[in-house]
A = this chain, B = another copy of it.
Amino acid sequence: MEFSLIDRIRDLTAQHRDDVRLGIGDDAALLTVPPGQELAVAIDTMVEGVHFPVGTPAADIGWKALAVNLSDLAAMGATPAWALLALTLPNADEAFVDGFAKGFAQLAQTYRLALIGGDTTRGTLTISVAVHGFVPPGKALTRAGAQVGDAVLVTGALGDAAGGLQCVQQKNHRDDTQTHHLIERLNRPTPRVAAGLALRGRASACIDVSDGLLADLGHICTASHVGAEIDAALLPRSSALLDLFDEATSRDFALSGGDDYELCFTVPVQQVAVVQADLAKLGCGATRIGCIVEGEGVTVRDCEGHRLSGRQGWDHFSA
Question: For residue A92, which residues in chain B have a CB less than 8 angstroms away from its CB?
Answer: 317
A111-129, CB under 8 A of B: which get 1 and which 0?
0000011111111101010
A32-40, A152-160, A275-283, A292-300 - interface stretch: A32-40
**Is the CB–CB distance between B40 and A315 below 8 Å?**
no
For the complex, what is the distance from the CA of A46 to the CA of B92, rounded to whole Å? 17
Q: Which residues of B contact A122 (CB under 8 A)?
A: 47, 50, 316-317
Q: Is the CB of B1 within 8 A of A316?
A: yes
Query: Secondary structure at chain A's binding surface: helix, strand, loop or mixed?
Result: strand
A150 within 8 A of B: no
A130 CA to B44 CA in the complex, in Å?
Answer: 12
Residues of B within 8 A of A107 (CB): none
In the bound complex, what is the Cα–Cα distance between A72 and B40 (angstroms)? Answer: 22
Q: Which parts of A243-296 form the interface with B (CB within 8 Å)?
A: none
A48 to chain B, nearest CB (A): 8
Indicate if A169 sits at the interface (CB-CB under 8 A): no
Smallest CB separation, A100 vs chain B (Å): 15
Q: Which of A76, A82, A206, A317 counts the most chain B CB atoms within 10 A?
A: A317
B22 pairs with A142, CB closer than 8 A:
yes
Contact present for B123 and A86 (CB under 8 Å) = no
Q: Which of A50, A91, A140 has the most CB of B within 10 A?
A: A140
Starting from the known contacts A27-B207, A30-B76, A43-B130, 18 additional A-B residue pairs (CB-CB under 8 Å) come to A2-B315, A25-B143, A26-B144, A27-B75, A28-B72, A28-B78, A30-B140, A41-B117, A43-B117, A43-B118, A47-B122, A48-B123, A86-B128, A117-B130, A121-B126, A122-B317, A123-B126, A126-B126
Contacts of A32 in B (CB 8 A): 38-39, 137
Count the copies: 2
Whether A73 lies near B42 (C-beta < 8 A) is no
In the complex, chain B residues whose CB is within 8 Å of the CB of A178: none
Q: How far is the CB of A280 from chain B (nearest CB, A)?
A: 24
Q: How far is the CB of A258 from chain B (nearest CB, A)?
A: 11
Distance of A120 Cα from B51 Cα, bound (Å): 12
Distance of A84 Cα from B130 Cα, bound (Å) = 8
Residue A208 interfacial (CB < 8 Å)? yes
Return A23 CB to nearest CB of chain B, in Å. 10
Asked whether A28 lies within 8 Å of B45 as measured between CB atoms, the reply is no
Given known A-B contacts A27-B75, A27-B143, A317-B122, A21 and B50 have beta carbons under 8 A apart: no
What CA separation (Å) do A143 and B132 show in the bound complex? 25
Q: Are B41 and A128 closer than 8 Å at their CB atoms?
A: no
Q: Is A38 a contact partner of B30 (Cβ separation < 8 A)?
A: yes
Asked if A15 CB lies within 8 Å of chain B CBs, one says no
A–B Cβ pairs within 8 angstroms, 27 of them? A1-B315, A2-B317, A22-B142, A26-B223, A28-B41, A28-B73, A28-B75, A29-B41, A30-B76, A31-B40, A32-B38, A33-B39, A41-B84, A43-B84, A43-B85, A43-B86, A45-B86, A45-B88, A45-B128, A47-B121, A49-B123, A86-B128, A88-B126, A92-B317, A121-B316, A122-B316, A128-B128
